[in-house]
Homo-oligomer: A and B are copies of this chain.
Amino acid sequence: MSDRIIPEATKRRMPIYYKYFKSQQEAGTKRVSSKSISDSLDIDSATIRRDFSYFGELGRKGYGYNIDSLVDFFSEQIFGKTVKKVAIIGVGNLGSALLRYNFGGNVSNSMQLVAGFDIDETVIGKTIGNCVVYNMDELNHIVKEKNINIAILTVPKESAEEAKIAIENAGIHGIMNFAPVKLTGHEGLVIHDVDITLELQSLCFNMKLSRGE
């Protein structure tokens, strides 16, 4: 069935599955079934089996799925074969927090935070977390040198558009944008917006619906 037409809904669940597999692997689990995944993730077991079937026959009847195989398979599906290198553009409050946080060490085998960039002389040259903060002028050069694939954009909204263009020109094809601005990229540039105020509103609305307060 792996004709490479993965439904949107399945795509959305991929990282959720992967996170679960990793946590199970760490906990020493050797095998899982669609039922056991279902219990933990609250996704119907039939949905899980269907999702996996888009990638081929990953399991064995009567046995289930082997955790190590799943982790390896999903890791390659999500990240590809090479480690993804990530840079933080804009080392202000949020940017420096993310640098220090370093994903809680959670994705280190497949993704790596490798640099920060800013235009503010007072942070340029500093090392935050494990990363040196470079001048934005050096973006092109460092991106090539370190093989950076992904940019996390944490600049003020006024500078977001300009930063996006610089990132695009440096040859980066994926942006996770924290600035509350709608950015549009050319063909081949994938932009993923994260807006904390949107998340909070969604929380509020769900509270309202669930309790009518």
Task: Give A residues with C-beta under 8 Å from B.
Answer: 6, 11-12, 14-16, 18-19, 40, 77-80, 84, 86, 93-94, 96-98, 100-101, 103-104, 106-107, 111, 149-150, 152, 156-157, 173-176, 180, 182, 188, 190, 192, 194-211, 213
Contact = CB atoms under 8 A, between A and B. Distances in A.
- Majority DSSP secondary structure for residues of A touching B: helix
Contacts of A201: 14-15, 18-19, 78-79, 107
B86 A16 contact: no
A11 B200 contact: no
A96 B98 contact: no
Given A93-B100, A97-B94, A204-B79, A192 B198 contact: no
Given A98-B196, A196-B98, A173 B204 contact: no
A150 B101 contact: no
Contact of A197 (B103, B182, B210): B103
Given A93-B101, A198-B16, A198-B19, A206 B107 contact: no
Given A94-B97, A211-B188, A11 B205 contact: yes
B206 A157 contact: no
Given A77-B208, A150-B203, A196 B100 contact: no
